[in-house]
């Protein structure tokens, strides 16, 4: 009896609750359209922060990775996305990892986030360093990440007629360094290509994927279920550290004219509407319980003409701990009664 209670509690808290939560509270959004329209079913997540050997206790590392593994497994089993987009900071110590440590990192990424879906990885500051570190060690940090995760400084690709543009946020410093020059030049070139190649510009506006949010003053305007509602939400963002600068933001929106933007970095969810061009920006919360008590991810259905977003919230760690406590109390009460 005691063994059964313990086994069932652990099974529920460490496995079944992830499937149950997603099965009962999350689903693909509904999207209209014409018969024959093609759609992409994409899963988006950010800031997994896989721990290295320097930070965090071994048990914390083991638990967080298990939680993310089961969450990703449940999500991909239940929803079967065609594409998975990782919006940066996949690694926590990528910018300081040795060659051997980085190889271990990539293997763990493959183990935890194994999927038959097309995976697209965006570089984050914890993956390759902030601008100054990235530039100082260039091309070492940048190239090893790009090779390991098939990433680029700026890249455009197409899936089922939908154009995507990936931008390395750390190359948007705007200080005329060679990385920034290359990134801005490529963004400008892609903007011209989009304008000249597309007869119907509305269907050619790309989906923009980045790590840093576009410029905003703070998270005070954010009112999503996974937003930051602590006093820290009023803290002013530092451009080029917490978000892209206003100048780089204006440049990107003007040149690429994206129809929707997906970003990460802040560890909290947010929906911003850039009113100049009616552009929605979805900032994703962290996928790791180390950064968020109740992590989340997005499910997006995207066509050449439209898109719809659904937010999926994972089990709250407080609830899981509470379940363990209740089970422990029940077990103690049972033992007391048996021993009388």
Bond prior to 139 in cis (omega within 30° of 0):
yes
Strand partners, 207: 164, 260
Element (H, E) at 301: strand 296-302
Find the mean pLDDT for residues 102-130. Answer: 97
CA distance 109 to 92: 12
Domain 29-313 - what CATH class? alpha beta
DSSP per position, 157-224: EEETTEEEEEE-GGG---S--HHHHHHHHHHHHHHHHHHHH-SSHHHHPPEEE-SSPPS-S-STT--S
The closest alpha carbon to 74, from 129, 20, 19, 8, belongs to 19
d(CA 227, CA 269): 4
How would residue 202 be classed by pLDDT, with cut points 50, 70 and 90? low
Distance between the two ends of the chain, CA-based, in angstroms? Answer: 17
Question: So what's the pLDDT on residue 37?
Answer: 78
SS3 238: coil
Token pair of 35 as six digits? 């018969």
Averaged pLDDT for residues 149-173: 96
pLDDT at residue 201, as a whole number: 65
* pLDDT for residue 34 is more than 80: no
**Residue 10 dihedral angles phi and psi, to the nearest 5°:** -65, -45
Domain ranges, ordered by start, for the chain: 29-313
Beginning with the edge strand found earlier in the chain, give each strand of the sheet holding 40-45 in spatial order.
118-121, 83-86, 40-45, 296-302, 307-313
> What is the rounded distance in angstroms from the CA atom of residue 210 to the CA atom of residue 240?
13
In angstroms, the CA 230 to CA 225 distance is 13
Say whether 287 sits in a helix, a strand or coil: coil
Least confident of 25-29, 32-36, 164-168: 32-36
Neighbours of 325 (CB within 10 A): 10
pTM (two decimals): 0.95
**Whole-number Å distance between alpha carbons of 19 and 2:** 25
Question: Chain-centre distance of CA 103, in angstroms?
Answer: 22
Q: What are phi and psi of 337, to 5 degrees?
A: -65, -40
Mean pLDDT of 255-279: 92
Query: Which tens digit of pLDDT belongs to each residue from 119-156?
Result: 999 999 999 999 999 999 999 999 999 999 999 999 99
């Amino acid at each position: 009896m005691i063994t059964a209670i313990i086994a069932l509690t652990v099974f529920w808290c460490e496995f079944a609750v992830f499937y149950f939560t997603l099965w009962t509270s999350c689903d693909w959004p509904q999207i209209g359209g014409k018969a024959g329209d093609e759609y992409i079913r994409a899963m988006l997540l950010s800031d997994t922060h896989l721990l290295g050997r320097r930070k965090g206790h071994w048990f914390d590392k083991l638990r967080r990775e298990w939680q993310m593994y089961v969450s990703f497994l449940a999500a991909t089993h239940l929803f079967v996305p065609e594409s998975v987009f990782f919006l940066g900071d996949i690694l926590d110590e990528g910018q300081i990892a040795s060659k051997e440590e980085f190889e271990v990192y990539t293997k763990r990424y493959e183990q935890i986030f194994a999927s038959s879906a097309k995976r697209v990885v965006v570089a984050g500051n914890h993956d390759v360093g902030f601008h100054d570190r990235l530039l100082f060690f260039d091309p070492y940090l940048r190239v090893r990440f790009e090779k390991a995760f098939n990433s680029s400084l700026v890249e455009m690709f197409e899936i089922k007629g939908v154009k995507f543009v990936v931008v390395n946020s750390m190359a948007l410093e705007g200080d005329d360094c060679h990385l920034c020059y290359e990134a801005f030049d490529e963004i400008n070139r892609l903007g011209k290509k989009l304008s000249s190649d597309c007869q119907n510009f509305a269907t050619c506006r790309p989906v923009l994927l980045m790590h840093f949010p576009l410029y905003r003053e703070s998270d005070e305007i954010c009112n999503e279920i996974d937003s930051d509602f602590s006093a820290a939400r009023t803290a002013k963002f530092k451009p080029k550290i917490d978000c892209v600068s206003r100048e780089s933001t204006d440049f990107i929106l003007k040149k690429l004219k994206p129809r929707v933007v997906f970003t990460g970095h802040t560890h909290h969810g947010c929906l911003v509407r850039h009113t100049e061009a009616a552009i929605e920006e979805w900032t994703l919360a962290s996928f790791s319980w180390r950064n968020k008590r109740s992590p989340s991810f997005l499910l997006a259905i995207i066509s050449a003409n439209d898109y719809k977003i659904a937010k999926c919230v994972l089990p709250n760690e407080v609830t899981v701990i509470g379940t363990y406590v209740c089970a422990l109390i029940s077990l103690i009460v049972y033992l007391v009664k048996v021993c009388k």
